[in-house]
Amino acid sequence: MRFANALALKKAMIDAAEAIIAAEPELTRIDSVIGDGDHGIGMKTGFSVLREQLAATVFPTPYELFHASGLCLVKCMGGSSGVLFGTLFISGLDVIKGKEALNGADIVAFLTKGIQGVKSRGRAKPGDKTMVDALLPAQSAMELALKSTDDIGEILKAAETGALSGVEATKNMVSRLGRSKNFREQVLGWPDPGAISVSILLGGLAKSLSQGL
Ligand code: ADP
Ligand code: MG
């Protein structure tokens, strides 16, 4: 699909929320070993509320959809990741203001600003073993994909692949932020749960927007 309107993007957000909800056991298992164990439940709670809210609302433009989504996640999810996933959808809103539908370049610009927002909000640096280590390779992969395709599904698929390479890389990182910092070398070999969530979110959006309406 070359253009995605608010309806297509709403469906994609609902599909992505379902993928996150389904991943709760995996996220809980990993965060229980290298964190405080609440990441899966936090994600499931936040994205369940989001799914209900989106399903019950008509959004005239992508701006309203992502504005409501970001606020909902900040409010309903809690934990560091609630604020950070909310920020991902809120920071780039000015890029899409007034647009009826988004093309590939709009989506890349929107998510790129969102990723910058997550970085400045959480102050995580590359290599700290956080979701930023999935978001940055996702951003590079999207930017590269945009040079050869205008298909939104393909661009987001590239973002998912970039995020998954970031998830792999977090296995070799020692946490420098958040609660898993206390686990020191014990976290080696385990991926960061927030990074996994990023890959699932992008994968859910990609799959949905590859299908068309
Ligand atoms: P909490 O750390 O409050 O228990 P969650 O368990 O919901 O929050 O989320 C943990 C995930 O949040 C981590 O796996 C990491 O990816 C991400 N995270 C935590 N702190 C930061 C930060 N400052 N910047 C970016 N990501 C972070
Ligand atoms: Mg936690």
Q: What is the CATH number of the domain that holds 28?
A: 1.25.40.340
Confidence of residue 181 (pLDDT cuts 50, 70, 90): confident
Predicted pLDDT of residue 79:
83
Mutation choice for ligand 1 from 41, 74, 81, CB with most ligand atoms inside 8 A: 81
With a Cβ cut-off of 6 Å, ligand 1 is lined by 31, 35-36, 38-39, 42, 79-81, 84, 122-124, 130-132, 177-179, 192-195
Environment of ion ligand 2 (residues, CB < 5 A): 35-36, 38-39
Q: Which residues are CB-neighbours of 65 under 8 A, at least 6 positions away?
A: 6, 9, 10, 13, 54, 59
The residue whose C-alpha atom lies closest to atom 20 belonging to ligand 1 is 178
How many other CB atoms sit within 10 Å of the CB of residue 100?
A: 11
Q: Return the ligand 1 atom nearest residue 38 CA.
A: 6
Q: Return the ligand 1 atom nearest residue 42 CA.
A: 7
Residue 213 pLDDT > 70, yes or no? Answer: no
**Domain interval for residue 65:** 3-210
The residue whose C-alpha atom lies closest to atom 23 belonging to ligand 1 is 122
73: left (phi over 0), alpha (psi -120 to 50) or beta: alpha
CA–centroid distance, 133 to ligand 2, in Å, is: 17
Nearest ligand (C-alpha, residue 81) = 1
Low-confidence winner among 39-43, 175-179, 205-209 (lowest mean pLDDT): 175-179
CA–centroid distance, 58 to ligand 1, in Å, is: 31
Residue 212 pLDDT > 70, yes or no? Answer: no
Predicted pLDDT of residue 183:
72
Q: Where are the beta strands (DSSP E) in the chain?
A: 4-5, 101-102
How many other CB atoms sit within 10 Å of the CB of residue 165?
A: 15
Predicted pLDDT of residue 55:
98
Low-confidence winner among 96-110, 111-125, 173-187 (lowest mean pLDDT): 173-187
Nearest Cα to 73, choosing from 65, 64, 82, 81?
A: 82
Q: pTM for the whole thing? A: 0.97
Average pLDDT over residues 188-207: 97
Average model confidence (pLDDT) for the chain?
Answer: 95
Taking the C-alpha atoms of residue 171 and residue 154, their distance in angstroms, rounded to an integer, is: 27
Confidence of residue 32 (pLDDT cuts 50, 70, 90): very high
% pLDDT > 70, the chain:
99
Taking the C-alpha atoms of residue 168 and residue 153, their distance in angstroms, rounded to an integer, is: 23
Low-confidence winner among 63-77, 107-121, 177-191 (lowest mean pLDDT): 177-191
* Count of the separate structural domains present in the chain: 1
Predicted pLDDT of residue 199:
98
